[in-house]
Amino acid sequence: MVIVIFQIGKTDNKSLESSINDYLSRIKKMMGLEIITIPDLKNRGSLPVDNQKKEEAVRIMKHFRDGDQLILLDERGDGQNSRQFADLILSKMNTGCKRLLFIIGGPWGIHEELRSKANKILSLSKMTFSHQLVRLLFAEQLYRALTIINGIPYHND
């Protein structure tokens, strides 16, 4: 199985980017991983928020393939602890999922059309974080889940 993470725009904070890349390199040693960065929209400040979210969704959906499993990261989604998240990933692996897609929305969130295509909506927290900080939090949780699955000491209950 390959995990594909979609994100909007580049990470412009070098400290965050360094930490994110550290976790991503660890993950790549355990599982196939692809990061797809959707470029920021030009002139986005002049576009209504819904139009921005719609255009981001269109750009993301161009990458979808038949059989993909789609999980959105959104504070309004279902909360899980780290072991439950590991179980979710393991269940996708065991059912023959070829590509598990995670979408981190842009600063305004995720368009309803994309939300309607999701197999699951997952919350990292009920609090709202910047979409760039979510990249770090999610990378760490994904790494943690893979260590749980592979029996690597990292997670403590």
CATH number reported for the structural domain that contains residue 9 in this entry: 3.40.1280.10
Residue keyed to tokens 């592979």: 150
Other CB atoms closer than 10 Å to residue 62's CB: what's the count? 9
79: phi then psi, degrees, rounded to nearest 5: -85, 145
Predicted TM-score (pTM) of the model is 0.94
pLDDT computed for residue 44 by the predictor: 67
For residue 115, give the amino acid letter: R
In a domain, 43, yes or no: no
pLDDT bucket at 108, cuts 50 / 70 / 90: confident
Q: Residue 149: in which H helix or E strand, if any?
A: helix 131-149
In a domain, 119, yes or no: yes
128 is in which domain, residue-wise?
2-36+51-149
Task: Provide the number of structural domains found in the chain.
Answer: 1
In a domain, 117, yes or no: yes
Compute the distance between CA of residue 139 and CA of residue 125 in angstroms, rounded to an integer: 14
For residue 136, give the amino acid letter: L
In a domain, 154, yes or no: no
In a domain, 41, yes or no: no
For 70, the 3-state DSSP assignment is strand
Q: Residue 56: in which H helix or E strand, if any?
A: helix 49-61
Q: Which residues are 120's β-sheet partners?
A: 71
Average pLDDT, the chain: 94
In a domain, 156, yes or no: no
